[in-house]
Structure 1
Amino acid sequence: MPIDPTEPYDSDNIFARILRGEIPNETVYEDDRVLAFKDINPQASNHILVIPKGEYVSWDDFTKTASDQEIAHFIRTIGKIAREHGFVEPGYRLLANIGRHGGQEVPHLHVHIFAGEPLGPMIARG
């Protein structure tokens, strides 16, 4: 169920539990501020989730309250992960869902990296 990005951070969400080591994951990158791991229900040949280790509900919350250094590090890390996994050529997609209309389901900021196949249009046109 999509969430409201204005709600307070829920420290029992699945990504918070992964960060605490309560739920296993297949880590592809980790440093003191960022964790990236394979999605357990991949929507493309390669599907990586990248999350900050701080308690941020959404992209809006993150860009409003995180430090400039934390924001820059997060964005640069996403690019680093894409380069290290060979996604730059032939291409990849980044996606961050925000709020109910954006389809956000976990109340912890996360960016999806999709790669490894042609991904088609972002929104299907009828």
Structure 2
Amino acid sequence: MSQQENPSSLRLQILTCHLAASSRNMASEKEAALAAVPSDSRTIFDKIINKEIPAKVVFEDDKVLALRDIAPQAPTHILLIPKVRDGLTGISKAEKKHCEILGRLLYTAKLVAKQEGLDDGFRLVINDGPNGCQSVYHLHIHLIGGRQMNWPPG
């Protein structure tokens, strides 16, 4: 088993990533990332899409669902998720067949940002893999706004 495949190594990478973050709000994200294991299993987002788990939905069409994050990092923090995963567990798994949904997600982010009154700007974030601190292996975009963003991000 290589170091990348070793679950202990994966947990250490995730922990190292999250220890670098100084925000107290990151505690629950650290726990979620530590518990995450990349897989094609059903995720919490699949359950939300299927209405098995309630969510504060702000936009929905036949391809995309947008909902408020339960641990917001800004006054506006919305997650945009494709309704059909089709192997798209993270952006690094994107294939040519995913181009349409990736464009649809970005366009929907623009629509939702306008709906939310984020006229002064916003940030889009896609976490990918252990070093990107991805905690749910179902591609999703974080739409964050309503405050001044810092650069570089942590």
Same fold by TM-score greater than 0.5: yes
Aligned residue number for residue 59 of structure 1? 91
Runs of 4+ more than 6 Å apart: none
**Deviation, structure 1 residue 86:** 1.7
Tell which structure's C-alpha radius of gyration is larger: 2
| Structure 1 residue 83, shift from structure 2 partner | 1.8
- Equivalence for 2:8: none
Q: What is the Cα-based RMSD across aligned positions, in Å?
A: 1.8
Find the counterpart in structure 1 of residue 101 from structure 2.
Answer: 70
Q: 1:52 to 1:101 in 2, by over 3 A?
A: same
| Match of residue 131 from structure 2 | 101
Q: Distance in 2 between matches of 1:110 and 1:71?
A: 10
Higher relative contact order (CA 8 A, sep 6+): 1
Range with greater deviation from structure 2 (34-43 or 70-79): 70-79
Q: Give, in angstroms, the shift of residue 76 of structure 1.
A: 1.1
Per-residue deviation, 1:8: 4.1
* Residues 108 and 67 of structure 1: CA distance in aligned 2, closer, same or farther (over 3 Å): closer
**Number of residues of Structure 1 aligned to a counterpart in Structure 2:** 119
Measured after TM superposition, the shift of residue 95 of structure 1 is 0.4
Q: Matched residues in 1 for 2:103 and 2:129: separation? A: 23
Letter of the 1:54 partner, please give it: V
5+ residue gaps, structure 1, are none
Amino acid at match of 2:90: S
- Unmatched tracts of structure 2, length 5 or more: 1-32
Which residue number in structure 2 is paired with residue 81 of structure 1? 112
Partner SS for 2:95: helix
Code of the residue aligned with 1:44 in structure 2: it is A
Identify which of 26, 29, 36 aligns with 2:66.
36
Task: Find the aligned partners of 1:122 and 1:25 in 2 and give their Cα distance.
Answer: 31
